[in-house]
């Protein structure tokens, strides 16, 4: 089977789905790999490196898609800027597309893929099981996003993070509040601690308290009898009563902070508002809010997607694609996730979609011109 790797066309996306080292491994596994000219350049990978790995460099975009049995992408299909045609129209019926489709938010895209006969495996729907960890691209990218979020805040803040004793006096450490202790939040915690900040973490799941404390963070705990996580370990949508309690408790912590990083997402739902404009008004002049959930509605009431704005003397960073800002390692990790997935679902260079397989059951969105994922089917009805 021929695997093709197009250049990403969503504005601001610097990652590539497959790096040369992984292309080499796929070729050894029996696949033929075609890569669009300069597809990996923004991530630091040249055409020469792909050719050395055994991949074919393809300049003709139509031919690239037309030859594909499997298309590997980072972002969902969009309009091709040169051809002025949707990428979906360039794919032939029966193509397997592996990408971040986010079908719980873009369920109409799923319907378009089904109508076109494209079989989609969405990387954000990989089940959260021990076996599937090595394929869990959401976690690998969130890990890097957590790191990058702290670096960006440290650069924007007019203070240093660590405690420093000097002949001119003592500098107190920066106070960082992180909302959400998932993969991104825990990496942000670890990074902020390494830079010397005092870090507090809030999460609706009491079960993460020990993880936060083991990394040196202080856990801001909201007392509740509600079960706050689903079977997959993700945070559930909280009740109005719980969110009210949380906001009251968080208010003082946020308004005392130098940096607030929000990471709270609920699959298929708008991100919950955790930092209100009233909180921002009460924050110290020059403090920073970074909203990692801005792509899905935002955790901060006044953040703006893909903009850095100053409101009430507070800098608010609304970067929607943090992994794209560290594209070399983000591409490396993502392509390894895809390699592990392909090793699981392919034999001797041929992908076999076993609909009874646990991974396929969770991540296969469309098959044979139908939307087959039950959650997406429900959203379309």
CATH number at residue 71: 3.40.50.720
Identify the domain boundary among 325, 348, 366: 325
**Residue 111 is assigned to a structural domain of this protein:** yes
Question: Given a cut of 60, is residue 261 above it in pLDDT?
Answer: yes
**How many domains does the chain contain in total?**
2
Q: Tens digit of pLDDT for each residue in 293-320?
A: 999 999 999 999 999 999 999 999 999 9
Band (pLDDT 50/70/90 cuts) for residue 205 is: confident
On average, the pLDDT of the chain sits at 93
Backbone angles phi, psi at 2, to 5 degrees: -100, 125
101 and 178 together in one domain: no
pLDDT over 80 at 243, yes or no: no
Catalytic residue among 21, 128, 218, 256: 128
Q: Is residue 224 part of a domain?
A: yes
Give the model's pLDDT for residue 206: 86
CA–CA separation, 59 vs 50, rounded Å?
A: 14
| Model pLDDT for residues 97-150, shown as the tens digit of each residue | 999 999 999 889 999 999 999 999 999 999 989 999 999 999 999 999 999 999
Report strand pairing: 288-291 vs 314-317. Answer: parallel
Catalytic site includes residue 141: no
Helix (H, G, I), strand (E, B) or coil at 35: strand
Q: Does residue 359 share a domain with residue 281?
A: no
The band of 224, judged by pLDDT with boundaries at 50, 70 and 90, is low
Domain co-membership, 308 together with 346: no
Examine the domain organization and report whether 245 and 308 are in the same domain. yes
Q: How far apart are CA 172 and CA 38, in angstroms?
A: 47
Residue bearing the bigger pLDDT, 221 or 62? 62
d(CA 278, CA 249): 14
Q: Give me the percent of the chain exceeding a pLDDT of 70.
A: 96
Which residue in the list 49, 69, 229, 234 is annotated as catalytic?
234
Q: Which domain holds residue 204?
A: 139-325
Residue 244 confidence class, pLDDT cut points 50, 70, 90: confident
What's the helix, strand, coil split of the chain in %, to 5? 40, 20, 40
Q: Looking at the DSSP assignment, which residues form a beta bridge with residue 166?
A: 169
Is residue 154 domain-shared with residue 112, that is, in the same domain? no
Q: Is residue 227 in some structural domain?
A: yes
d(CA 100, CA 84): 22
Q: Are residues 181 and 258 in the same domain?
A: yes
Does residue 133 lie in a domain region? Answer: no
Q: Is residue 178 part of a domain?
A: yes
381 domain-assigned: no
**218 an active-site residue?**
no
Could you tell me if 316 and 331 lie in one domain? Answer: no
Q: Tell me, yes or no, if 128 is annotated catalytic.
A: yes
At residue 230 the predicted structure's pLDDT band, cuts being 50, 70 and 90, is low
pLDDT at 9 over 90: yes
Whether the per-residue pLDDT at 228 is higher than 60: the answer is no
Q: Are residues 174 and 313 in the same domain?
A: yes
- Same domain as 92, residue 192: no
CA-CA distance, 262 to 299, in Å (whole number)? Answer: 6
122 is catalytic: no
- C-alpha span between 100 and 73 (Å, rounded): 8
Given the residues 49, 67, 124, 139, select the one marked as catalytic. 139
Active site residue 147: no
What average pLDDT does this structure show over 247-262? 92
- Assess whether 95 and 33 both reside in one domain: yes
Virtual torsion, Cα 99, 295, 330, 146, nearest 10 deg: -140
pLDDT of residue 246: 74
200 and 313 housed in the same domain: yes
Q: Choosing from 47, 136, 203, 291, which is the catalytic residue?
A: 136
Pairing of strands 169-171, 164-166: antiparallel
Domain identity same for 43 and 116: yes
């Amino acid at each position: 089977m021929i695997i093709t790797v197009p250049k990403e066309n969503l504005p601001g996306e610097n990652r590539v789905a497959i790096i040369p080292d992984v292309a080499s491994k796929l070729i050894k596994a029996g696949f033929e790999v075609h890569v669009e000219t300069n597809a990996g350049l923004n991530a630091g990978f040249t055409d020469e490196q792909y050719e050395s790995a055994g991949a074919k460099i393809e300049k003709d975009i139509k031919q690239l898609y037309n030859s594909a049995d499997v298309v590997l992408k980072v972002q969902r299909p969009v309009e091709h800027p040169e051809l002025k045609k949707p990428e979906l129209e360039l794919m032939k019926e029966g193509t397997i597309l592996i990408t971040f489709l986010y079908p719980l938010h873009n369920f109409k895209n799923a319907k378009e893929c089904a109508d076109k006969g494209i079989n989609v495996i969405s990387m954000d729907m990989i089940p959260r099981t021990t076996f599937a960890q090595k394929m869990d691209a959401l976690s690998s990218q969130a890990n890097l996003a957590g790191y990058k979020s702290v670096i960006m805040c440290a650069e924007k803040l007019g203070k240093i993070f660590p405690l420093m004793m000097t002949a001119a006096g003592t500098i107190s450490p920066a106070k960082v509040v992180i909302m959400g202790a998932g993969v991104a939040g825990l990496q942000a915690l670890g990074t902020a601690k390494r830079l010397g900040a005092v870090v507090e973490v809030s999460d609706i799941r009491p079960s993460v308290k020990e993880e936060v404390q083991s990394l040196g963070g202080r856990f801001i705990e909201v007392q509740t009898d509600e079960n706050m996580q689903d079977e997959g370990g993700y945070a559930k949508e909280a009740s109005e009563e719980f969110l009210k309690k949380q906001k009251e408790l968080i208010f003082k912590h946020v308004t005392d902070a130098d940096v607030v990083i929000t990471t709270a997402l609920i699959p298929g739902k708008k991100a919950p508002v955790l930092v209100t404009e009233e909180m921002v008004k009460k924050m110290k002049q020059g403090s920073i809010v970074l909203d990692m959930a801005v792509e899905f509605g935002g955790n901060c009431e006044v953040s703006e997607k893909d903009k850095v704005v100053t409101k009430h003397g507070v800098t608010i960073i609304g970067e929607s694609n943090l992994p794209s800002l560290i594209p070399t390692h983000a591409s490396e990790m993502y392509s390894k996730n895809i390699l592990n997935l392909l090793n699981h679902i392919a034999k001797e260079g041929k992908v076999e979609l076993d609909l009874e397989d646990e991974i396929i059951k969770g991540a296969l969105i469309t098959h044979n011109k139908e939307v087959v994922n039950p959650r997406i089917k429900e959203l379309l009805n």
